């Protein structure tokens, strides 16, 4: 078997419906478009969301709030997670690449360290943002909270 003798399964393909080829084809005349109306004309293009004059769904559903285009999304990592990582890997320097390697953040994510949990060891944590309580807890344990 090779590419030159491959064929589709029997009955899986049909001949294309040829329209507009004269009355003898039984598909001449209006060419399956029906009589009159926008869809029968050449150049007709359906407007997306058009519902035949009925108020379209996107206009009749109530809208509220707004999306702030300047919002910065952070991946939150708590102090108890840092402590468990310390026990597992015994490294005291944690940066973005370290979090990505351990599956806590994606490559382009901004990281924020939050204050749930406790830190007992002196950690040097590099992140894009820290909550006040997290920064205080890290520095109280003798570590450094470095903002990227």
- What is the helix (H) or strand (E) element at residue 130, kind and residue range? strand 129-130
E strand residue ranges, 57-127:
74-78, 93-94, 110-114, 124-127
pLDDT digits (tens, 9 = 90+) for 7-31: 999 999 999 999 999 999 999 999 9
Nearest to 75 by CA among 92, 100, 43: 100
Q: Rounded to an integer, what is the distance from CA 69 to the centroid of its chain?
A: 16
Residue 23 DSSP symbol: G
78 backbone dihedrals φ, ψ, rounded to 5° = -90, 165
Dist CA 42 CA 67 (whole Å) = 40
**Average of pLDDT values for 25-42?**
91
87: pLDDT strictly greater than 90: no
What would the two tokens of residue 6 be? 């491959």
Phi/psi at 84 (5° precision): -65, -35
The stretch 100-110 carries a mean pLDDT of 90
């Amino acid at each position: 078997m090779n590419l030159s003798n491959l064929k589709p399964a029997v009955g899986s393909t049909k001949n294309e419906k040829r329209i507009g080829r004269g009355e003898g084809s039984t598909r001449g005349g209006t060419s399956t478009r029906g009589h009159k109306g926008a869809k029968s004309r050449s150049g007709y293009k359906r407007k997306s969301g058009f519902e035949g004059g009925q108020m379209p769904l996107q206009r009749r559903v109530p809208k509220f709030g707004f999306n702030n285009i300047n919002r910065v999304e952070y991946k939150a990592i708590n102090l108890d997670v840092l402590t468990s990582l310390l026990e597992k890997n015994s490294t005291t320097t944690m940066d973005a690449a370290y979090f990505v390697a351990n599956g806590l953040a994606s490559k382009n994510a901004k990281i924020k360290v939050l204050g749930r949990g406790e830190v007992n060891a002196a950690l040097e944590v590099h992140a894009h943002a820290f909550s006040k309580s997290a920064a205080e807890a890290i520095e109280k344990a003798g570590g450094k909270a470095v903002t990227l």
